[in-house]
Amino acid sequence: MPTPAFFEMHPPFPDDIPVLPLPRLSYAKLLSDCSAESQALYKASTEQGFFLLDLSDTPEGPGLLADIETVFGIGRAFFDLDLDEKKKYKANSGNVGYKPMGVMAQADGKRDLTEICAVGQDSILDSSLATIPAVFDDERPFLASLIHRLHPIAALLLSRLASHLEIPYSKLAALHDPAQQSSTVLRFIHNPPQPDPQSRQASLLGHTDSGSITILFAAMGGLQILPPDKPDLPANWRWVRPEPNCAIVNIGDTLVQWTGGILRSSFHRVLYAPGAQASHERYSVGYFLKPAGEASMKRFRDGTVIPKLRIEEEEEEKSMALYDIWHRDKTKGIIQGKNNVKSRGGTVSKMKALPREAVV
């Protein structure tokens, strides 16, 4: 998250609501290849699929956190534009572009209260590829610099996870090479205030992220996670408390798919900002790392950790699409309110109990 000073510019997160404690990992320790921290990363990625990553404990950390605060201002400048101007950048089938409020169907039949502008990494790094809103185009060198610092953070997480999964890191690195076409984005998110308790509703329906890794920055609450062992009932959802100097990181469906369910992608949603924060505009910014569009979504077959395909999974595996198609179909389902799949993965203990004759 941004710095403590940035947090102080917002109303405090309340202390009287149910919060899901997230593991807090040190980026500096992961950089130094600390075995215990790497194990903690793997544990968090297989159990909850969410964790906090402290970015303040490296020499470049304070500068990055300060730049994240600048990015919030850029996002606000875009969302302050007239709706007709924002609609010129309508989101494409890869979910890159602008999505106004009210496009997505919620589970209760209401429409969403979230507007999003997802600016493609490809377009930021190569101005010849696509037109982006002038607000972002004017800041292209700055945004490119930001991506060049966020991508290595995601890459380091992939590297440490690869060692536990017995996957060659070079394989994951090639699938996420910024030089290849992908739908990786900087996603700017805005939710309006909901000061009236009688009319509050979910801002964004429950979902799992389709990509590989999400690195999210926010100074206000609103994000909720459904614990993997709990049914989808209102009382079971837990708030996530943003913490200064930390990003909220979560595992996406792509890594669950590739690892045969070893890693976990947890069901989450955006409700409304809690407590006194509910009367204020809510903004967040995320780096959504996704694989190359031509990446196969078939399960990896490396090592002994990732489970072999079960007999009944063989036919489905044969028809598994490339990422762009797989992502497009999931996005379409979410918009229609038909694909709010619950938490996926986290099957380490279950896989140990599989009989040998159940796999091929």
Predicted TM-score (pTM) of the model is 0.92
pLDDT of residue 247: 97
260 torsion bin: left (phi>0), alpha (psi -120 to 50), beta (else): left
Provide mean pLDDT across the span 255-276.
Answer: 94
Percent of the chain with pLDDT over 90: 72
Using alpha carbons, select from 335, 113, 342 the residue that is nearest to residue 225.
342
- Residue 358 has a pLDDT of 26
Please give the C-alpha separations between residue 96 and each of 134, 154, 158, 212, 331, in angstroms, as whole numbers.
16, 20, 23, 16, 11
- pLDDT of 40 reads 98
Whether residue 352 is predicted with pLDDT greater than 60 in this model: the reply is no
pLDDT at position 9: 92
pLDDT at 323 over 60: yes
d(CA 327, CA 94): 7
Structure confidence at residue 205 (pLDDT): 87
Give the pLDDT band (50/70/90) at residue 212.
Answer: very high
Structure confidence by residue, pLDDT tens digits, 157-211: 999 999 999 999 999 999 999 999 999 999 999 999 999 998 889 898 888 999 9
Give the pLDDT mean for 241-266.
96
Across residues 288-304, what is the average pLDDT?
92
Helix orientation angle between 61-79 and 140-165, rounded to the nearest 10 degrees:
120
Closest CA to 129 of 101, 96, 177, 166: 96
What does the pLDDT read at residue 330? 75
Highest mean pLDDT among 116-120, 131-135, 296-300: 116-120
The answer, yes or no, to whether residue 350 has pLDDT greater than 60, is no
Model confidence at 351: pLDDT above 80: no
* CA-CA-CA-CA dihedral for 99, 328, 160, 307, to nearest 10: 150
Mean pLDDT of 113-129: 92
pLDDT 10s digits, 75-117:
999 999 999 999 999 988 778 899 999 988 777 778 899 999 9
Sheet holding 24-26, edge to edge: 24-26, 50-54, 246-251, 213-218, 282-289, 185-191, 115-120, 97-99
More confident of the two residues 258 and 326 = 258
Q: Look at residue 359 and give its three-state secondary structure.
A: strand
Residue 336, pLDDT above cutoff 90: no
